[in-house]
Amino acid sequence: MSFNESQVDKAAGQATVMVAPPAENRVLDVRGLDFFYGKNQSLYGVDMPVERNKITALIGPSGCGKSTLLRTLNRIYDLYPGQRAEGQILFNGENILNAKDTPADAGPATGSRIGGDVAKLRARIGMVFQRPTPFPMSIYENIAFGVRLYRKVTKAEMDEIVEVSLTRAALWDEVKDKLDKSGLGLSGGQQQRLCVARGIAVQPEILLLDEPASALDPLSTAKLETALMELKDSLTIVIVTHNLQQAARISDHTGFMLLGRLIEFRPSSDAFVRPETEAMRDYVTGRYG
């Protein structure tokens, strides 16, 4: 998977080939985003709109920066000293990169780096990871954990939240009789849907998924995709995937990234049929440099 130098030069010089959704439909608007791991820059001037109640897929070869881009959207990179983002990420018009109330290089021991606005941001932008990350507690408690961070609810209300969340994640029927069993006892696919349920239980506007199906078998993947398609009614999804068929199947918009730049961003229906850039054409047809 290597691109030759002419493509690297092109990637560096080109503006993103973009067919953007209308501004009033955007829930997120990334503008001129640079990202640094210490001294190494890994995102270069990324502009990307995210349309409300749609699925946006990010594709590209390993190391192209798609996961990095995703991880800036909920500021999860804050956990790691030395990682920083510059530019703008407008979430409903508000730049989330300014949500910090202490400088980014302050030590994590102060505890304030993820407090305040950033915690609220994460309540509204949830995340599901590559490997399933059920908490070491019961299925019920896995869901209740996030809810309790923000709301005081009665047992009956919590029961309902748990049922609705699991139903929307297409997991309810499989676990309704064992809600008090450990989440660790579920299969990988079930665990991943539990993580989706946990994420949507706090009622986020956006759900970020970082290669959520890469550790799942095809059947589990299909179930997860079905759940995501149905979730679109109530929230916005941004998904990083290595699976081009998956991106084509479920996404409304596709962004193709290469070497830290967003090369092409278009409606998926067009992007996969007629990629405009040579780089994306090579990538989706499996031909490289």
Q: Report the interface residues with another protein, using CB under 8 A.
A: 74, 76, 79, 81-82, 107-109, 111, 114-115, 119-123, 126-127, 129-131, 133, 135-137, 145-146, 149-150, 184, 195, 198-199, 202
Whether the Cβ atoms of residue 62 and residue 68 lie closer than 8 Å to each other: no
φ, ψ (nearest 5 deg) of residue 199? -65, -45
Rounded Cα distance, 249 and 148, in Å: 35
Rounded Cα distance, 58 and 258, in Å: 11
Closest to another protein by CB, 83 vs 251, is: 83
Closest to another protein by CB, 198 vs 223, is: 198
Rounded Cα distance, 13 and 129, in Å: 32
* Shortest Cβ 112–another protein spacing (Å): 9
Angle between helix 155-168 and 218-231 (nearest 10): 120
Rounded Cα distance, 30 and 44, in Å: 12
Whether the Cβ atoms of residue 128 and residue 208 lie closer than 8 Å to each other: yes
* Shortest Cβ 20–another protein spacing (Å): 27
φ, ψ (nearest 5 deg) of residue 18? -130, 135
Closest to another protein by CB, 109 vs 156, is: 109
* Shortest Cβ 72–another protein spacing (Å): 13
Residue 43, beta-bridge partner list: 35
Rounded Cα distance, 98 and 53, in Å: 25
Closest to another protein by CB, 195 vs 279, is: 195
Q: Which two tokens stand for residue 232?
A: 């679109």
Q: How many CB atoms lie within 10 A of CB 250?
A: 20
* Shortest Cβ 129–another protein spacing (Å): 5
> Residue 267 is inside which H or E element, if any?
strand 261-267
* Shortest Cβ 67–another protein spacing (Å): 12
Closest to another protein by CB, 65 vs 212, is: 212
Closest to another protein by CB, 71 vs 266, is: 71
Closest to another protein by CB, 32 vs 115, is: 115
* Shortest Cβ 153–another protein spacing (Å): 16
* Shortest Cβ 115–another protein spacing (Å): 6
Rounded Cα distance, 53 and 104, in Å: 31
